[in-house]
C-alpha cells in the first residue's frame, strides 16, 4: 500500500530513479497557516548535501506544490507536492539485485515490471516526500502544543545518553546532528570516517520524543500509539526495530508510581499504557540496520541470467542512515500522531465537537474522501478482474455471485443500515460492470474479403478505439505473409498463432479487432471472443464476395475465377453456422450506415 491514514491520508508516489517523488496529503482542514521556511528546514535536515557521511547524490529537493497550499495556508484541497529527481542514474545496478536490498523481492513480486533502479520505491529517497508531509503535520501539532524531536542515540557501538524520560521541554541540540551529550559527536564522527574509508557501513539508533500529547490519545486495541506510530515508521527503509518503554526484568522495577495530577514519579513506560498516551513524555527508539550498500566486493543476483554474480557497489551511498534519517523518523511520528489526534478529537465534548457544524462537516468530507479513494481502488481491481476473465475465457457477469456479494457485504452492517448498504453495493457492482464492459473488444468476423479491415477502420474513427488486424499482426510478428506461413509451416501452425494472439487481445481489451476469416472456427477462440467482447458477423452477400480478388488467399487459391468462386461457396457453407453462433450482431457490411449501426449497438452495450 502506498497510502496510509484514517483522517489525514498520506499517499507517497514516484521512485528513486523515476521522474519524481511526491506526496498527497488529504484530510487537512482549510486555513492552516504554514511556515514554508520551517518545512524547508526539515527537508534540509534530511538532505545528503548537509551531511558529510551521506551519499554524494545531491538533489535540490525543491518542492513543487501542485495543490492544497495557497498564499501560505492550506485551502482544504489535497496537498500535492512533487520533487523532481535530477541526479539519478538509471543504469545503476538495474539488472543485478544487490544483497539485502529490496531489489530481488520487488523484481519477483512485480514479475520484473517494477522500476527497481536505485531501490525504486524502497529507496531512502521516498523519505523526502514523507519529510515534507511530516513537516506540514508538525505545524498543526505545534498549534495544539505538541512537539516532536529526536537525537542520535547510537552510531555503531558509540552511544549517546538517553533522553531524560521526565523532561518537560526539548533539550537544546544541533538539529543536523542532535545529541543529548554533544561530547559523543567526535567519537561518532571518527567511527563514521573510519568505516567509510574501510568501504563499510554502520548501524544506528534514534531516540524520539513527543511532548504535550493529551492523556488517552491512541485508539483501543489495533490503533494504539505503539502500533499506529510503528506502522508509519516501518515505511522508512533500513528500519528494523522500534521499542517503547524501558527494558526491566521485574514489575517492581518497571512500574511508574502515581503522584499529583495523575503524573508519575518515573517514566519507564515511556509515556504509553494500553496503547494510549499517559501524559508523560512519549519516547521510543528506532534501530536501523547498517546501510546495505557497502563498497566491499559482494555477490549479487543477475536478474536476467538468474544467477549469482560478483558485485562491487561504487561510491553513491550513505555510511549510516543517521543523522539525516532523523528528519524522516520525526516526520513519520508527526503524521501518525496527527492522524491519532484527529481521531481523538471525534470524542464527544472534544475540541473538535465544540467547534460545531464546521468540524462535523470536515469529518464528513474526510470520510467521503476515503470513500472516493476506495471507490477508485475498487474500480481498478474490477478492471483487473475483467482482464483476467477475458484472458481466461471466463464469463464476465455472474448474477449468482453478484447477489451473494450484495448480501454478504450488507450483512457486515447493523440491521437498520442494511437496506442502504445493499443499494450502495448494487450501484458499485453496476459501476464495476460498466468499467468491465468499457474494456470490451469489438470483434469483426466473416469470410475473407468481406471488408473486416475496412469496417474496422470506420469503427475505429467513429468510436475512437484502436484497430487490431489479426492477420496483419501475425504477418508482422512472423516477418512473412499468411500464404508463406501456410506453405512453410502448415495451417495448424497459423491457427495456433491466432489463438495465442486472441488471448493477448482479449486480455488487452478496448480494441476493434478485424479477425482472420478462420479464427472463430476454433472453439477456444470463439469462447475468448464471447467473454471479452461483442462479435459482429459481417455477412456479405455471396455475389459481392465473388467479385473480389481472392486468388491469393491460401484456402481459396485456384487457377480460374470460377474455381475461386466455387471455393468461396464451399467455405461459406462450411463456416456460416459458426459465424452465426458466435455473433451478437449480424450485418451486411455493404448496407448503408452499417458502421453506425454497429457503433450504436456497442455504445448501448457498454452504457448498459
Ligand atoms: C534517509 C535514508 C538513506 C538511505 N541511504 C541508503 C544508501 O545510501 N545506500 C543503501 O544501500 N541504503 C540506504 N538506505 C537504506 C536502504 O534503502 C534499505 O536498507 C533497503 O531499501 C532495504 O530495506 P530494509 O533495510 O528496510 O529491508 C537509506 C535509508 C534511509 C532512510
Does 419 fall in a domain? yes
190 to 159, 177, 181, 350: CA distances (angstroms): 13, 14, 16, 51
- Are 432 and 457 in the same domain? no
pLDDT tens by residue, 43-53: 999 998 877 77
Q: What is the CATH number of the domain that holds 72?
A: 3.60.150.10
Cβ of 289 closer than 6 Å to ligand 1, yes or no, is yes
- Are 457 and 381 in the same domain? no
Cβ of 119 closer than 6 Å to ligand 1, yes or no, is yes
Q: Indicate if the pLDDT at residue 553 is higher than 50.
A: yes
Q: How far is CA 162 from the centre of its chain?
A: 38
Residue that the C-alpha cell 527537508 belongs to = 43
Of 387, 421, 437, which one is at a domain's C-terminal end? 437
Does 221 fall in a domain? yes
Q: Which of 201, 292, 319 to mutate to test the pocket of ligand 1 (most atoms within 8 A of CB)?
A: 292
CA angle 596, 601, 603 (to 5 degrees): 90
Q: What pLDDT is stored for residue 172 in this prediction?
A: 96
Say how many C-beta atoms besides its own lie within 10 A of residue 361's C-beta: 10
Q: What is the CATH number of the domain that holds 555?
A: 3.40.50.300
Say which residue, 549 or 70, is predicted with more confidence: 70
For the chain, the helix, strand and coil percentages under 3-state DSSP, each to the nearest 5: 45, 15, 40
- Are 120 and 190 in the same domain? yes
Parent domain of 389: 367-437
- Calculated CA dihedral for residues 468, 472, 476, 478, nearest 10 degrees: 120
Closest CA to 557 of 484, 471, 451: 484
Say which residue, 280 or 440, is predicted with more confidence: 280
Number of domains comprising the chain? 3
- Are 447 and 423 in the same domain? no
pLDDT tens by residue, 127-159: 999 999 999 999 999 999 999 999 999 999 999
What is the 592 CA–ligand 1 centroid distance (Å)? 66
Q: Indicate if the pLDDT at residue 608 is higher than 50.
A: no
- Are 345 and 396 in the same domain? no
**Cα–Cα dist 530/538, whole Å:** 16
Of 355, 382, 403, which one is at a domain's C-terminal end? 355
Residues in contact with 234: Cβ distance below 8 Å, sequence separation at least 6, in sequence order: 242
- Are 461 and 328 in the same domain? no
CA R_g for the chain: 32
What is the 562 CA–ligand 1 centroid distance (Å)? 76
Q: What's the predicted TM-score (pTM) here?
A: 0.67
Does 539 fall in a domain? yes
30 to 33, 78, 79, 509: CA distances (angstroms): 9, 10, 11, 42
Say how many C-beta atoms besides its own lie within 10 A of residue 383's C-beta: 16
pLDDT tens by residue, 333-389: 999 999 999 999 887 655 545 556 776 777 787 788 888 888 988 998 988 888 888
Cβ of 393 closer than 6 Å to ligand 1, yes or no, is no
**Cα–Cα dist 539/332, whole Å:** 65
**Cα–Cα dist 267/270, whole Å:** 5
- Are 481 and 339 in the same domain? no
Q: What is the three-class DSSP state of 73?
A: strand
Percent of the chain with pLDDT over 90: 69
- Are 419 and 348 in the same domain? no
The full DSSP string for 345-392 is: TTSTTSHHHHTTHHHHHHHHHHHHHHHHHHHHHHHHHHHHHHHHHHHT
- Are 109 and 156 in the same domain? yes
Cβ of 237 closer than 6 Å to ligand 1, yes or no, is yes
H or E element at residue 71: none
Does 258 fall in a domain? no
Amino acid at each position: 500500500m502506498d497510502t496510509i491514514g484514517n483522517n489525514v491520508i498520506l499517499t507517497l508516489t514516484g521512485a528513486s530513479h523515476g521522474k519524481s517523488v511526491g506526496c498527497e496529503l488529504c484530510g487537512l482542514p482549510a486555513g492552516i497557516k504554514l511556515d514554508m521556511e520551517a518545512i524547508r528546514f526539515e527537508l534540509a535536515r534530511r538532505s545528503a548535501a548537509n551531511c558529510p557521511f551521506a551519499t554524494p547524490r545531491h538533489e535540490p529537493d525543491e518542492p513543487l506544490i501542485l495543490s492544497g497550499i495557497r498564499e501560505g495556508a492550506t485551502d482544504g484541497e489535497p496537498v500535492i507536492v512533487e520533487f523532481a529527481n535530477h541526479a539519478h542514474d538509471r543504469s545503476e545496478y538495474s539488472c543485478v539485485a544487490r544483497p539485502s536490498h529490496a531489489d530481488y523481492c520487488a523484481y519477483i513480486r512485480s514479475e520484473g515490471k517494477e522500476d527497481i533502479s536505485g531501490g525504486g520505491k524502497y529507496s531512502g529517497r521516498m523519505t523526502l516526500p514523507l519529510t515534507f508531509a511530516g513537516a506540514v503535520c508538525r505545524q498543526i501539532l505545534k498549534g495544539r502544543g505538541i512537539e516532536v524531536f529526536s537525537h542520535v542515540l547510537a552510531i555503531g557501538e558509540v552511544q549517546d545518553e538517553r533522553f531524560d524520560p521526565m523532561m518537560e521541554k526539548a533539550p537544546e541540540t544541533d538539529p543536523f546532528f542532535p545529541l543529548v551529550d554533544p561530547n559523543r559527536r567526535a567519537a561518532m564522527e571518527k567511527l563514521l570516517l573510519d568505516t567509510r574509508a574501510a568501504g563499510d557501513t554502520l548501524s544506528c539508533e534514534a531516540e524520539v520524543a513527543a511532548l504535550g500529547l493529551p492523556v488517552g490519545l491512541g485508539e483501543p486495541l489495533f490503533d494504539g500509539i505503539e502500533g499506529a506510530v510503528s506502522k508509519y515508521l516501518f515505511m522508512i527503509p533500513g528500519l528494523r526495530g522500534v521499542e517503547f518503554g524501558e527494558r526491566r526484568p521485574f514489575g517492581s522495577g518497571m512500574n511508574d508510581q502515581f503522584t499529583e495530577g495523575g503524573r508519575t514519579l518515573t517514566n519507564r513506560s515511556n509515556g504509553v499504557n494500553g496503547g494510549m498516551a499517559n501524559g508523560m513524555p512519549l519516547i521510543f527508539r528506532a534501530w536501523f540496520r547498517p546501510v546495505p550498500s557497502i563498497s566491499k566486493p559482494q555477490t549479487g543476483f543477475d536478474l536476467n541470467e538468474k544467477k549469482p554474480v560478483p558485485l562491487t557497489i561504487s561510491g553513491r551511498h550513505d555510511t549510516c542512515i543517521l543523522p539525516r534519517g532523523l528528519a524522516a523518523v520525526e516526520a513519520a511520528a508527526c503524521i501518525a500522531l496527527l492522524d491519532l489526534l484527529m481521531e481523538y478529537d471525534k470524542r464527544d465534548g472534544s475540541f473538535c465537537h465544540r467547534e460545531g457544524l464546521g468540524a462535523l462537516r470536515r469529518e464528513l468530507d474526510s470520510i467521503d474522501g476515503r470513500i472516493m479513494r476506495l471507490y477508485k481502488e475498487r474500480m481498478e481491481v474490477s478492471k483487473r478482474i475483467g482482464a483476467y476473465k477475458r484472458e481466461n475465457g471466463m464469463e464476465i457477469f455472474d448474477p449468482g455471485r453478484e447477489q451473494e456479494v450484495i448480501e454478504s457485504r450488507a450483512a457486515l452492517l447493523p440491521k437498520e443500515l442494511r437496506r442502504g448498504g445493499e443499494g450502495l453495493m448494487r450501484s458499485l457492482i453496476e459501476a464495476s460492470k460498466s468499467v468491465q464492459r468499457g474494456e470490451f473488444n469489438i470483434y469483426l468476423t466473416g469470410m475473407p474479403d468481406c471488408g473486416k479491415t475496412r469496417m474496422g477502420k470506420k469503427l475505429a474513427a467513429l468510436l475512437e478505439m484502436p484497430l487490431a488486424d489479426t492477420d496483419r499482426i501475425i504477418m508482422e510478428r512472423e516477418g512473412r505473409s499468411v500464404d508463406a506461413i501456410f506453405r512453410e509451416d502448415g495451417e495448424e501452425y497459423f491457427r495456433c498463432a491466432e489463438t495465442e494472439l486472441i488471448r493477448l487481445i482479449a486480455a488487452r481489451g478496448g480494441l476493434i479487432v478485424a479477425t482472420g476469416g478462420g479464427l472463430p472456427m476454433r472453439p477456444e477462440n470463439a469462447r475468448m471472443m464471447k467473454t471479452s467482447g461483442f462479435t459482429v458477423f459481417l455477412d456479405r452477400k455471396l455475389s459481392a464476395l465473388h467479385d473480389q480478388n481472392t486468388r491469393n488467399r491460401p484456402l481459396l487459391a485456384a487457377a480460374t475465377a470460377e474455381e475461386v468462386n466455387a471455393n468461396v461457396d464451399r467455405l461459406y457453407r462450411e463456416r456460416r453456422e459458426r459465424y452465426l453462433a458466435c455473433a451478437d450482431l449480424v450485418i451486411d457490411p455493404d448496407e448503408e450506415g452499417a458502421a453506425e449501426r454497429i457503433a450504436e449497438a456497442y455504445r448501448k452495450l457498454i452504457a448498459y
